[in-house]
Structure 1
Amino acid sequence: MNDLARIDVHQHLIPPEFREALGRHGMAGWAPFEWSEAGALAMMDDFGIATGLLSLSTPGPHLGDDLEARELTRRINERIAGMVQRRPDRFGMFASVPLPDIEGSLEAIAYAYDQLSTDGVVLLANTRGTYLGDPKFEPVMAELGRRSAIVSIHPAHLEGRPVPGLHPSLADFLLDTTRSAINLVLQGVTRRYPNIRFILSHAGGFLPYAAHRIATLANVVDPAVDRVAMLEDLSSFYFDTALSGSPTALPSLGAFVRPGHVLFGSDSPYASGKTIGYFTNNLDRFAGLDEAAHTAINRANAEILFPRLALRRHEIERSQS
């Protein structure tokens, strides 16, 4: 795809204030890549991305201290909002929140929506072992439901000792996202707050492939769980294609998710240009999708979720005609 047509719902930034905070906490290795606004735009031009919705990746802005996390969250969200204000055609925003600080998270959500006009919110699948769906996070979910929020769920590191030689990105991140999605459904969050649109990173981890196993065994473990209803709830999520445009992942997505619920994602800059190219080329060449389906994944589905991006495209097209 040579023209700037895609909307990338899974694109990160590594701002200097985040890098500095990680360094202070001895966590510099969590942000190993260089990032700049110019570099992001160049990557987007290379892969036909019109707009990238920026978010902070794991470990998020809370590195141990509530007050520090609140300040870091505000600075990062203001940085992204400034980029969106300068280039609303090229950038969008998923605001960070400083979980597990509930009060700070509610303040960050209010500020992001009321002052920064955020497009959505990014939440980590787990925060120090507590997963989305846990009753501790209910006030945050209630507020996101009240605002009909679009929430990008990004994996975090699993609690416990890692497997030597097995980087978390190989399997742990996929399990983390899957755990979070299952817990949100089992705890009834998706039913209580149907106005929240959740986007699962990396094609939902293992979820599309294993959904029928998950729902069937959930009923075995607890007969009160309705298998059919659980499958319906699991399919209500949105799924991005970051690192997942493959001949094995795409058929699982197509067989499981609802129409209109697959969105393009790059995972830049944590994914290199070579890696993005591999998965994007596979997506573009996948024979299981017709032209309309490719257009839907690349742009149209996201324009329904983010109407301002569709409006902006129409404005640009009118100015060029």
Structure 2
Amino acid sequence: MVCIDVHHHFFPLSLQKDKPKADLGWRTPAENLPWTPELSVKAMDDLGIDMAILSLPAIPSGEISQENRSLARERNLYLFEVCKTYPRRYGFFACIPFLHDIEGVLAEIAYAFDELNADGISLASSYGEGPEAVYIGDERFDPIWAALHHRKAVVFLHGTQTPCSTPIPHPFLGVPITEVPNETFKAAAHLVVSGRKRKYPDVKVILAHMGGTLPSLAPRIAALSSYMGCPLTPEEILDDFRSFYFDTALSSHEVTLTAINNFVEPNRVLFGSDFPAVNRETVNWYTKQLRQYAAGEEEKLDGIFCKNALELFPRLRNLIVDA
């Protein structure tokens, strides 16, 4: 069965993933560093992954500057070269400058799609730090969403590593483990209740980690946000939540798969590994859970592993054998 991984990161050396992040309570597997395209290809071969769409981990901090624009361009040119070297193994979600730089973001979106043939763009759940953080459904970002809507673009949305008031309640419960999934949900909820998801329906948004806490909290938002004055009805809010796509990275288990299966149509679920942020054993554990959950349902498995991704990224049809 062909497998397309829509949640697969690349780690530029500038991210310094080799340095312990004690403030986040997470360590990247040492065997995955320094990251190279060849390292991921070897892992993909071992994990049964035919093609991966590369993305940068969510980076919410930054500033409006030429340096920030140049860094996004440099990373996108690098990803373009990786895809040229391994055309049957990689696609990529383009990086963008700091989101407040509307002009710079729009220019990079145009360049990434028109010149580099990017498969989509990646977005963090919010931009800025602390009380200055702004979620992506904010009205100031409307020109960006309008441009993506015009292109019928795919967006990969990943939660930020935003600490809460008790960022690491236990050494086994670091920020990436507990907070990132909720940041993804908060960004998705912000897009829905602000009306942006409904205003720009042609943007196809993939939520990392199966939307984080979204499957359990969507009904809470539907009723309580409506009560607080959201002009959408509870039913409309739930419909808009169902219009997202969801990847399985670090989320495949009978509990979560049952929840998402009862909430969205089968074609909304895509395979994701989160490699190289986690080791191969972790990817294999989740993939095993996925296969066990849908055992005997080959059509559903084929959709999650391949067919649903091909609907979003039709150019891959000519690259994937036996798809």
TM-score, L = length of structure 2: 0.89
Q: How far apart, in 1, do the equivalents of 2:104 and 2:27 lie?
A: 24
SS at match of 2:251: coil
SS at match of 2:69: helix
Q: How far apart, in 1, do the equivalents of 2:305 and 2:13 lie?
A: 30
After superposition, residues 121-270 of structure 1 pair within 5 angstroms as 121-128=121-128, 129-158=133-162, 161-164=165-168, 165=170, 166-222=173-229, 224-270=231-277
Q: How far apart, in 2, do the equivalents of 1:193 and 1:31 lie?
A: 37
SS at match of 1:309: helix
Question: Could you report, residue by residue, the CA deviation over 1:178-221 in whole angstroms, capped at 9, with x for unpaired residues?
Answer: 11111101111122111100000000011112222221222222
Gaps of 5+ in 1: none
Aligned AA (1:40): S
SS at match of 2:249: coil
Aligned AA (1:200): L
Question: Could you report, residue by residue, the CA deviation over 1:96-144 in whole angstroms, capped at 9, with x for unpaired residues?
Answer: 1112322111111011011100000000011122101101211111111
**What is the Cα deviation at residue 163 of structure 1?**
2.4
SS at match of 2:290: helix
Q: How far apart, in 1, do the equivalents of 2:296 and 2:315 lie?
A: 26
Question: Could you report, residue by residue, the CA deviation over 1:258-314 in whole angstroms, capped at 9, with x for unpaired residues?
Answer: 23000000001111111111111111111477110001000000011100111222x
Q: How far apart, in 2, do the equivalents of 1:79 and 1:88 lie?
A: 14
Q: How far apart, in 2, do the equivalents of 1:229 and 1:250 lie?
A: 23
Number of matched pairs:
308
Q: How far apart, in 2, do the equivalents of 1:83 and 1:30 lie?
A: 27
Aligned AA (2:43): M
Q: 1:82 to 1:231 in 2, by over 3 A?
A: same
Q: What is the match of residue 51 of structure 2?
A: 51
**Residue pair 1:236, 1:258 contacting (<8 A) in 2 also:** no
Equivalent residue in structure 2 for 1:286, among 271, 275, 293 = 293
Q: How far apart, in 2, do the equivalents of 1:223 and 1:101 lie?
A: 28
Moved more, 206-215 or 125-134: 206-215
Q: How far apart, in 1, do the equivalents of 2:205 and 2:232 lie?
A: 21
**What is the Cα deviation at residue 317 of structure 1?**
5.1
Q: What is the match of residue 11 of structure 2?
A: 14
**Residue pair 1:17, 1:72 contacting (<8 A) in 2 also:** no
2:40 pairs with 1:40: yes
**Residue pair 1:9, 1:265 contacting (<8 A) in 2 also:** yes
Moved more, 209-218 or 70-79: 209-218
Q: How far apart, in 1, do the equivalents of 2:53 and 2:230 lie?
A: 40
Equivalent residue in structure 2 for 1:310, among 293, 317, 321 = 317
Aligned AA (1:45): D
Q: How far apart, in 2, do the equivalents of 1:157 and 1:53 lie?
A: 21
TM-score, L = length of structure 1: 0.89
**Residue pair 1:215, 1:227 contacting (<8 A) in 2 also:** yes
Q: Structure 1 vs Structure 2: percent identity of aligned residues? A: 36
Q: How far apart, in 1, do the equivalents of 2:55 and 2:44 lie?
A: 15
Q: How far apart, in 2, do the equivalents of 1:219 and 1:291 lie?
A: 39
SS at match of 2:92: strand
Q: How far apart, in 2, do the equivalents of 1:158 and 1:289 lie?
A: 40
Q: How far apart, in 1, do the equivalents of 2:318 and 2:87 lie?
A: 11
**What is the Cα deviation at residue 38 of structure 1?**
1.0
Q: 1:138 to 1:91 in 2, by over 3 A?
A: same
SS at match of 1:245: coil
Aligned AA (1:304): E
**Residue pair 1:154, 1:200 contacting (<8 A) in 2 also:** yes
**What is the Cα deviation at residue 86 of structure 1?**
2.0
